[in-house]
Structure 1
Amino acid sequence: MVISNLYTPKQIEVLKTVLRRKDWRLLINYGAVRSGKTVVDNDVFLMELRRIRKLADSLDVDEPMYILAGYSSKSLQNNVLQELTNKYGIEFKFDKHGSFKLFGVKVVQTFTGSIAGLGAIRGMTSFGAYVNEASLANEIVFNEILDRCSAPDARIICDTNPDVPTHYLKKDYIDNQDQNAGIISYHFIIDDNKFLPKEYIERKKAGTPSGMFYDRSILGLWVSGEGMVYRDFNKETMVIPHDKLPDDLTYYAGVDWGYEHKGTIVVMADDKAGNTYLIEEHTKQFEEIDYWIQIARGIQERYGSRIKFWADSARPEYVARFRREKFNCANAKKHVLSGIESVAMLMKQGHFFVVKEAIDYFLDEIYQYVWNEKTGEPQKLNDDVMDATRYAEYNQHLRVVAKPKAKPSYLR
């Protein structure tokens, strides 16, 4: 079989470098989503285990150890282990610590999302490591992984989507031009993946919000946001009169608690055509919980007693009070960038609308809702309605999708 039927030109370039260069220590494949980074890194991981077994034999090491690292157990299972099972039929047999043996190498799993990941690898001598979603790794854990890879000719593989340009992975490793460091990096864009249908790529580009999200997800660039967060918001087309609302709607609400800063409850609604509407906004400063209970009761009267309130978890006593008052209230998942991207995607696709008669502060906030270039997140100023809107939209549409037994080649 011709290798170009199995790998993209960018993946082949990576494989050639891995096989021909003997002096590399750290390989970082970074860039756009669906661009083929993890596919090639998974295969390099298997190649490395075979190399290590031969190296260990020459050193009379019975059981060489290797680190497999990822943000969480779930991300490692989805991105690495399940993919290898689907592609090659490998069945992993885990011990009580979550480690497994493959090709005569003991692979130790550790999770990089928090400092707790140190415990699994502290003190070990590793012949190498594979770090999935490396930009999400706690820096202390990442440095410990590098330190643990102290066996002869140990190598580290990383794949990642981009983050802010000041991220340690970009600043200290990708941009490190010192030849003695043994660092190789490859930049992937979505167009590098020739297995993706042209229609998929065109739709992905058209549906990805402008600015930072597009630059990272499509072009694979390490960029910070600039200017407005919601750059695709169009007041002329997205602010509509109440009489333009369709009749058959699904209602839900978002809550951002406040006192010194403004508190907000927004009511959102979805139609069957995939459009989302902000149909009520209640924003007040210096109000206690009793005030918000009265607002919520009015919302229940208008939209039904089981309407869902997605609430900021920062005030657990308020969430508990809402529940005692028999409101259908849940702690919102507060993933900032994911939530913003969810709302921004609706705007990009022309599926987000705001009822003109219903809003007080929405328009004031959306034009002041700007990126903090240092943190890569929005500035925490005049963001109460923005937060409540994000909590509602993101959590209402969050879905747990069952993973298929085998992923089609066009999704590599």
Structure 2
Amino acid sequence: MSRKQLLSIVQSEARINLWEGSVRSGKTIASLLRWLIYVADAPRGGELVMVGRTRDSLYRNIIGPLMNPDLFGDLAQQITYNNGAPIAYILGRPVHVLGANDAKAEPKVRGMTCAGAYVDELTTLPRTFFDQLVARCSVKGAKIFGTTNPDNPGHWVRREYLKRAEAVRLRSWHFTLDDNPYLDPDYVAALKATYTGLFYRRNILGHWVQAEGAIYDAFDPQRHVVKSLPHMTRWLCDAIDYGTTNPYADLLIGLGVDNNLYVASEYRWDSRAERRKKTDAEYSAARRRWLAGVPHPHTNVLGVQPEWTIVDPSAASYIEQLHRDGVSGVTPADNSVLDGIRTVGTLVAANRLFFHESAKGVIEEMPGYSWDDEAAEKGEDKPIKQDDHSVDALRYGVRTTEALWRPHIPTLLEVAA
């Protein structure tokens, strides 16, 4: 371990101990070793808790690594857990495993008397939940340990805890990517090349910075817009942002033989510009006609049947219409906005996502898609809800089909997960 990691383990004796900073900087391993040391001798008069945004994410980020003997040696054999279960056993102690992805999670800890807690990615949790967890750690000597990447400077974690460290009895350690001396230099260089703009400053430099300017600032029409497409190994999906008054946007996304993603075609209907609204049935019929006319690159074959049809999750009536029309593979989109933006931005920055010149709607929206300054002042990262219909469809398609294309993309993109 590095000197900074060792110091953070030795010095983490406050009521709340937080490791914060950039990705892959060593903060999680240090915090986990400290958590094991604490569990081994934690007060016996209360319960122990581990919290993540979901139980799955907690298993992936925290419990799985704890059970890895390459990381924790013989200690890993003293940790047992079945993914999704409410209890883990660590060094002989039962530990409650909780997901806290929205404000409804707060009652999960209400009524508990806790002797200690570990929190993964604190900024992704609701403030009401964490406040309740702090209150419930009431056993004498109880401590909380946690990690987080930076977020907006107005985020409640920074405003109410980091900036009030003495009042809330918190101690924190800030890590940057360069604080982990054991990473391969080529990997570090690749990781730095993956991010741009906001996500570079947060995930590489570890800064708590406000979202500003263009979201996809790495997008360059000269580089990312193409006149011809390669052979497609898979037609992954068509992805739909549904609108009646607002524009309806549908993007066809494929995986090329070069293992890059391509927006191969776009169907778009702007009812205001056309001065006519379409019904669900009319949109469904128009979608069929559009896909039937899409050519397979470098062949004489017309007509594409994508594996999935991914729809704006709020468009319940349209999803039902597609089912009635016999469309296979219809599914609501993953609408995790920031995760989707980060994934798309990573692909663009790494030159793994391209747009055929015929997809005019998304090409026009990409450069102007920007962060909302007013939301940023309130500590929130949100895009401006204007001229975003095709880029929303892009986010839906890329994020929801990630399990299909990820095996074909270099490992440097793992950080966007």
Q: Deviations over 1:107-160 (max 9, x none)?
A: 333322134433442222222211112111111111010000112122111111
Alpha-carbon distance in structure 2 between the residues aligned to 1:324 and 1:372? 38
| Gap regions ≥5 residues in structure 1 | 1-6, 403-412
Q: 2:278 — aligned with what?
A: 287
Deviations 1:154-184 (A, max 9, x none): 2111111222111111111112243x53211
Paired with 2:85 and 2:257, the residues of 1 have a C-alpha distance of 47
Tell whether 2:391 aligns with 1:382: no
Q: CA-atom RMSD, angstroms?
A: 2.4
Helix, strand or coil at the partner of 2:41: helix
Equivalent of residue 231 in structure 2, options 218, 239, 247:
247
Q: Equivalents in 1 of 2:268, 2:81: separation in Å?
A: 54
Deviation, 1:360, is 3.6
Structure 2 Cα separation of the partners of residues 176 and 157 of structure 1: 17
Mapped partners of 1:361, 1:400: distance in 2: 23
Distance 1:105 1:239, change over 3 A: closer
**Equivalent residue number for residue 219 of structure 2:** 233
Contact 2:267–2:290, Cα closer than 8 Å, also in 1: no
Secondary structure in structure 2 of the residue aligned to 1:27:
strand
Residue aligning to 2:300? none
CA gap 1:41/1:234 in 2 versus in 1, 3 angstroms:
same
**Aligned twin of 1:310:** 310
Say which SS state the counterpart of residue 78 (structure 2) adopts: coil
> Counterpart in 2 of 1:275?
260
Deviation at 1:257, TM superposition (A): 0.4
- Aligned match of 2:287: 296
Q: Which residue number in structure 2 is paired with residue 14 of structure 1?
A: 8
Contact 1:282–1:360 at 8 Å: present in 2 too?
A: no
C-alpha distance in structure 2 between counterparts of 1:225 and 1:249, whole Å: 37
Aligned residues: 378
Aligned AA (2:337): V
**What CA distance in whole angstroms lies between the structure 2 residues aligned with 1:138 and 1:189?**
25
Q: Distance in 1 between matches of 2:81 and 2:220?
A: 53
Q: Could you report, residue by residue, the CA deviation over 1:375-395 in whole angstroms, capped at 9, with x for unpaired residues?
A: 312111110011111112222
Q: 2:79 touches 2:91 (CA, 8 Å); kept in 1?
A: no
Deviations 1:334-384 (A, max 9, x none): 11122222222222122332222x134334322321011423121111100
Pair 1:101–1:316, CA change in 2 (3 A): same
State the partner residue of 2:121. 133
Which segment is superposed worse, 191-200 or 381-390? 191-200
CA contact (8 A) 1:32 1:217 kept: yes
Q: Distance in 2 between matches of 1:281 and 1:162?
A: 36
Contact 2:219 2:367 (C-alpha < 8 Å) held by counterparts: no
Distance 1:343 1:332 in 2: 15
1:26 to 16, 19, 32: 16
Contact 1:35 1:192 survives alignment (8 Å):
yes
Shift of 1:213: 1.3
- Structure 2 CA distance for aligned equivalents of residues 135 and 29 of structure 1: 12
Cα distance in 1 for residues equivalent to 2:107 and 2:406: 31
Report Cα offsets for 1:188-241 as digits up to 9, x if no partner. 112212221111111111122x11111122112222321111101111222222
Q: Is the 8 A contact 1:306 1:327 kept in 2?
A: no
Q: Structure 1 pair 305/80, CA: closer, same or farther in 2 (3 Å)?
A: closer
AA aligned to 1:30 is: E
Q: Which residue does 1:320 correspond to in 2?
A: 320
Distance 1:206 1:12 in 2: 29
2:386 matches 1:398: no
- Counterpart AA for 1:66: L
Once residues 353 and 146 of structure 1 are traced to their aligned partners in structure 2, the CA distance between those partners, rounded to angstroms, is 47
Counterpart of 1:266 (choices 251, 254, 258) is 251
Please state whether the residue corresponding to 2:114 is helix, strand or coil.
Answer: coil
Q: Is contact 2:48–2:117 with CA below 8 Å preserved after alignment?
A: yes
Aligned to 1:4: none
The CA distance in 2 between the partners of 1:281 and 1:366, in whole Å, is: 14
Aligned counterparts of 1:227 and 1:399: Cα–Cα separation in 2:
31
> Is the Cα–Cα contact under 8 Å of residues 9 and 192 in structure 1 kept in the other structure?
no
The residue aligned with 2:191 is 204
| Aligned-partner SS, 1:318 | helix
Establish whether residue 52 from structure 1 lines up as the match of residue 42 from structure 2: yes
What CA distance in whole angstroms lies between the structure 1 residues aligned with 2:61 and 2:230?
41
- Give secondary structure in 2 for the equivalent of 1:246: coil
Any gaps of 5 or more consecutive residues in structure 2?
272-276, 295-302, 408-417
My pick for the range that moved more, 142-151 or 277-286, is 277-286
CA distance in 2, matches of 1:305, 1:245: 17
Write the mapping of 1:366-381 to structure 2, written as runs, cut at 5 A. Answer: 366-373=366-373, 374=376, 375-381=380-386
Q: 1: distance between equivalents of 2:320 and 2:397? A: 18
C-alpha displacement at 1:186, in angstroms? 1.0
- TM-score, normalised by the number of residues in structure 1: 0.85
| Other structure's SS at 2:42 match | helix
* Superposition deviation, residue 65 in structure 1: 1.9
1:263 shift after superposition: 0.9
Residue in structure 2 matching 1:112, options 97, 100, 110: 100
Partner Cα distance (1:44, 1:100) in 2: 17
Q: What is the letter of the counterpart of residue 246 of structure 1?
A: P
Q: Matched residue of 1:227: which SS?
A: coil
Decide whether aligned partners of structure 1 residues 291 and 238 sit closer, same or farther in structure 2, where only a CA change above 3 A counts. Answer: same
- Alignment match, 2:141: 153
Q: Does structure 1 conserve the Cα–Cα contact (< 8 Å) formed by 2:115 and 2:138? A: yes
Q: Following the alignment from structure 1 to structure 2, what is the Cα–Cα distance between the partners of residues 307 and 126?
A: 48
- Aligned residue for 1:193? 180
CA distance, structure 2, for counterparts of residue 282 and residue 299 of structure 1: 7
Given the two structures, how large is their TM-score scaled by the length of structure 2?
A: 0.84
Aligned to 1:405: none
